[in-house]
Amino acid sequence: MNARPLRFHWSVPGSGTDVRGATARARTSALPDAGLHVEFAQRAEEAGMDSVLVPIGHYRADPVTMAAVMGAETSQVTFMLAARPGIVSPTYFVQQVNTLALLTGGRVSINSVAGHSPAEQRFYGDTLSHDERYRRAEEFWTICHALWAAEEPVDFDGDYYRLRGARPGVPFGGGRGRPEIYVGGNSAQAERVARTQADCHLRFAAAPDDLAPLATRMLESGTETGIVVSIIVRPTRDEAVRAAYELVERAGEQARRAQRQFTARSDSVGFAEAQAAAGSDEGWLTRHLWNGAVPYLGPPAMSLVGAPGDIADGLAEFACAGISQFVFQGRPDLETMTAFGRDVLPLVRERERR
């Protein structure tokens, strides 16, 4: 059983809809709404979230810039920047992160994602295969760790990077020395990089019993395990289940087609596994965990469903399996995050105290 206090993060939505993931990414506007982002970060802070995940992609605004905007209007919440190794040099990335940390009092962590679409990677000029991207990521984070720890300039000779005398002029602020690193992915390559480079391995949700052996392996290497999962919480379980089924109805067949098309173009192991496992019967993996929306809205739509006590019970089952961190999406986000902080989080903390 996990003995660590559970930590909770919320993914910044690209829109206010609870059916995000229902349309093709190419049709999503990347124009930033600074006001909405700031409001979301402030509400996350009020709800007691440890951090907000600021996603990356060609259909989104730049996460570093948006985190700087949100950081100026908040005082406690951390910004988990999604980053793709290979888009920029590790030295420049450390410079960006350190600058943001100084501006926010160290409120920066990193979610390393190797990319899930070869077509989008080519958009950034990256032609590496899935496995090569993870090998490069391992070099990338090795260099970043060296730069954060270095007292002298760093030299490095690898297959993907060669550096001479690298040294960030701006230190990492906030007293920690470096940001926490979360490596995302369900593949064996992602597990390897997480064990050697990360503080936490992030993967898509699955039944707690299936995750327990994976979490044990990670903990043996000193790395936590976290999951990406949605929350559908209502005053009663019946209302929550009804809202879950209504969500799929609103998404409709066009959403299922969009997910099939995306999965066909993706080389993500996690997306392929989640889609292959979803859609059987009514999708209930446990009393609280439902994957019925995954064929329509993608793997992040695996959901904990129920009244506040049910959500707390579901989180406790994951904690018993060794899961200690959670990146949530809400259906819908702002209302669900507020309800989680008000109605669910106190139950979780009281159980931890007991």
Q: Per-residue pLDDT tens for 34-84?
A: 999 999 999 999 999 999 999 998 878 899 999 999 999 999 999 999 999
Which pLDDT score, from 0 to 100, does residue 80 have?
98
- Residue 311: which of 239, 209, 213, 224 has the closest Cα? 239
Contacts of 143 (CB under 8 A, 6+ apart): 90, 91, 154, 156, 158, 161, 163, 166
Spatial contact of 37 and 12, defined as CB atoms under 8 Å apart: yes
* % of the chain surpassing 70 pLDDT: 90
Mean model confidence pLDDT for the chain: 90
Backbone angles phi, psi at 115, to 5 degrees: 100, 145
Q: Which residues pair with 180 in a beta bridge?
A: 109
pLDDT (0 to 100) of residue 24: 54
Region 330-337: what's the mean pLDDT? 94
- Give the containing element (helix H, strand E) for 330: strand 323-330
Please compute the mean of the pLDDT values over residues 156-160 and round it to a whole number: 96
Q: Which of 178-187, 246-255, 343-352 has the lowest mean pLDDT?
A: 246-255
Question: Which residues, at least 6 apart from 239, have a Cβ–Cβ distance to it below 8 Å?
Answer: 307
- What is the spatial distance between Cα 95 and Cα 169, in angstroms, rounded to a whole number? 7
Over 60: is that where the pLDDT of 140 sits? yes
Residue 72's pLDDT is what? 97
Domains of the chain: 32-204 (3.20.20.30)
Listed in order, strand segments (DSSP E) in 84-239 are 108-112, 154-157, 162-166, 180-184, 200-204, 224-233
Return the pLDDT at 119.
Answer: 74
Q: Cα dihedral angle (125, 131, 135, 136), rounded to 10 degrees?
A: 10
Number of H helices, E strands in the chain: 13, 12
Determine phi and psi for 129, rounding to 5 degrees: -75, 170
Q: What is the pLDDT of residue 25?
A: 54
Mean pLDDT, rounded, for 20-31: 58
In terms of Cα–Cα distance, which of 64, 101, 80 is closest to 12? Answer: 80
More confident residue, 17 or 184: 184
pTM metric for this prediction = 0.91
Question: pLDDT value at position 55?
Answer: 93
Compute the radius of gyration of the chain from its Cα atoms: 19
